[in-house]
Chain A
C-alpha cells in the first residue's frame, strides 16, 4: 500500500528540516510531501536546498486549503493512504505504523492519533482540554461517533476519504469538521493512542483570543452540518 505523509508548513523554518529528516531517515517506506502555505520565512528556501519534495502555494490559503492541497496531490498520485502530520515537530513519526495499521487491515477508513487514550506525553493546557472535551461531546451528539482528540492534526485517511477531502475540506480549523464530514458518510473512524511533543520553536497558530473564535466557529460548523445536511445517520 502506497502511503503519503502530508506536512503542512507555514513559517516552520526552524522546524521543517528536522521534521522531514526525522521522517525520511527513520521511516523511508513512507513518501512525503511538504505543503508550503506561502511562508514568509525561509521555509521554502530550506526545503529547496535540501531537495525536499515540496508543493509551494503561491498565496496563503490557511491550514485548510494547505492540507487540502496535500489531499489533491495524494489523489492525483493514487496513494492508498494519506497521513496528515504537522510541520512543527509535535507529531512523532514513530507512530506512523501504529496509526496506519487499522487502515492497512481494512478495519477503519480514518485513524486519528489521540493524546487522550493513554494520557501520555504533552496533554495541552486545561482550558484547551475542556474545549476539546466539549467539541468531542458535540460531535458525539451530532453524529453518534465518539472521538476523544477531535482537534488532533495527526491522522491517516484511506482512498475513499482522500477523495472526499480533496473535494471538500474546511478552510480554517478544519480538524473537527473533517471528522463530522466523514462520520456523516458513514466512515469507520478509529482513534490510535499516540504521545505528542510540545513544539520546540515558534508559536502555535491558535492564540487565546483566537481560541474563542475557534470554539464558536467550530461548534457552529458542527451544528450547521447537521442542519444543512439533514437527518442523523444512525450507527
Chain B
C-alpha cells in the first residue's frame, strides 16, 4: 500500500514536470503526448495492480515486476530509436540549410561587388 502511495506521488511529480516544460515551451505539446500516455499507463498500473499481475501471467513471466521492466524497457527503446531517427531528419535539414546559405551568400557577395563596381 505504501509503495503504491509513493508511486502515486512520483507520477504526480512527473506530470507536474511535463506541465512545467510545456509552460516554458521546452517541449512541444505534440511531443509531450507520449509522455502523458506513459503517466497514464503508470497510473492505471498503480491503481489496479491486479492488471499488472494478469499481464505478467499472460506473458508467462513469473515475477510480476519483471514483466513491468520488460514493457518499460521496450517503451524506452522505441522512444530512443525514434529520437535517433528524428536527429537524422534534423541533421539532413540542417545540412541542406547550411549548403543553401553558403550558396546564397556567394550570390549575394557577387551581386554586391557588381553594384559597387557600377557606382
Contact = CB atoms under 8 A, between A and B. Distances in A.
Interface of A: 35, 54-59, 61, 65, 68-69, 72-73, 76, 171
Interface stretch (B30-38, B45-53, B97-105): B97-105
Interface string B53-84: 00000000000000000000000000000000
A69 B99 CA distance: 6
A58 B95 contact: no
Counting chain A CB atoms within 10 Å of each CB, the highest count among B94, B95, B103, B106 belongs to B95
Nearest to B107: A76
Contacts of B91: 171
Contacts of A171: 91, 95
Contact of B103 (A61, A65, A72): A72
A57 B106 contact: no
B1 to A, nearest CB: 52
Contact of B98 (A54, A57, A73, A76): A57
B103 A59 contact: no
A170 to B, nearest CB: 12
A58 B98 contact: yes
B108 to A, nearest CB: 11
Name A's interface SS: mixed
B103 A55 contact: yes
A55 B106 contact: yes
Chain B interface residue bracket vs A:
10 to 19
B99 A59 contact: no
Interface in B83-119: 91, 94-95, 98-99, 101-103, 105-106
Nearest to B95: A65
Contacts, number: 36
11 contacts: A35-B102, A55-B106, A56-B105, A57-B99, A57-B102, A58-B101, A59-B94, A59-B98, A61-B98, A73-B106, A171-B91
Nearest to A35: B102
Contact of A73 (B94, B101, B103): B103
Contacts of B95: 61, 65, 68, 171
A68 B92 CA distance: 12
A61 B105 contact: no
Nearest to B88: A171
A196 B99 CA distance: 29
A72 B99 contact: yes
Given A55-B105, A56-B105, A61-B99, 9 more contacts: A55-B103, A56-B106, A58-B98, A58-B102, A61-B98, A73-B106, A76-B103, A171-B91, A171-B95
A169 to B, nearest CB: 10
A171 B99 CA distance: 13
Contacts of A54: 106
A132 B98 CA distance: 31
B99 A56 contact: no
A201 B102 CA distance: 27
Contacts of A68: 95, 99
A35 to B, nearest CB: 7
A113 B94 CA distance: 31
